[in-house]
Amino acid sequence: MFDGNQIREGTHINGIGSHTPGARELDSVIIKRSKFVGDSREACFKEAGDIIIPVNAGEISESHFYAELGEIISGKKPGRMNDKEITLFKSNGLAIQDAATAKLVYEKAVTKGIGIEVEI
């Protein structure tokens, strides 16, 4: 963990290292200072100590979770609103992300004519 007081305005953070309810990589200060976006609200409140711990400690409420990434990408909610805002994306990893990555790798391999096709 690092000191959230050290983060400058306008910083974006990708939190990808911790994904269990009792562990975190980001302190409560940075969670409070940031616009919190997760890949999945449900996954964050089941798996991400980064938000679970400060909620359980009463330092923030569940409403601090601003949006799911899909809401930002689709335009349902705005992302960064100004140059001073600290934004934070918490990734827990979703199966759809793995499937999309695997499809991309497969398509690139086919295009380059590399790899071995296995029939199951």
pLDDT in tens, the chain (120 residues): 678 999 999 999 999 887 789 999 999 999 999 999 999 999 999 999 999 999 999 999 999 999 999 999 999 999 999 999 999 999 987 777 778 888 999 999 999 999 888 888
Virtual CA dihedral for 64, 97, 92, 90, nearest 10 degrees? Answer: -40
Q: Which pLDDT score is estimated for 4?
A: 92
CATH placement of domain 4-92: 3.40.50.720
**Strands in 39-103 per DSSP E:** 65-68, 86-90
Domain ranges of the chain: 4-92
> pLDDT value at position 66?
98
The pLDDT, as a whole number, for residue 37 is 97
